[in-house]
């Protein structure tokens, strides 16, 4: 298991991103960039398979990275945001 460190536009993503046609047409590899709401994030790791399609398609960001997607500075804790993960560059 690994943890995302503070700073940088980096992400860890779910298991299914590693495979062609599971999420994207092409498999995602370490070092690839994916866009979340038009912001590029470097893929630095993959989580192990959970065997639940929704969980295995998650995108994990640091709290600092999540701040760029908030619309209200008063929101505390975890946020559910609607995100669109676009094809990688």
Give pLDDT, residue 26: 94
Give 57's DSSP letter. Answer: G
Contacts of 87 (CB under 8 A, 6+ apart): 24, 25, 34, 35
Span 8-67, pLDDT tens digits: 688 999 999 999 999 999 999 999 999 887 889 999 999 999 999 999 999 988 777 777
DSSP label of 80: -
Name every residue whose Cβ is closer than 8 Å to that of residue 15 and which is 6 or more positions away in sequence: 46, 47, 48, 49, 50, 56
Residue 76 in domain: yes
The answer, yes or no, to whether residue 78 has pLDDT greater than 90, is no
Question: Is residue 86 scored above 50 in pLDDT?
Answer: no
Give the total number of structural domains in the chain: 1
Residue 19 belongs to a domain: yes
The answer to whether residue 4 is domain-embedded is no
- CA–CA separation, 16 vs 8, rounded Å? 23
Quick check: pTM over 0.75?
no
């Amino acid at each position: 298991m690994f943890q995302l460190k503070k700073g940088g536009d980096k992400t860890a993503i779910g298991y299914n991103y590693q495979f062609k046609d599971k999420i994207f047409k092409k498999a995602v590899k370490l070092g690839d960039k994916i866009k979340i709401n038009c912001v590029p994030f470097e893929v630095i790791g993959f989580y192990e398979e959970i065997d639940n399609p929704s969980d295995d398609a998650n995108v994990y960001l640091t709290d600092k990275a999540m701040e760029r997607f908030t619309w209200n500075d008063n929101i505390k804790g975890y946020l559910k945001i609607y995100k669109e993960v676009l094809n990688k560059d």
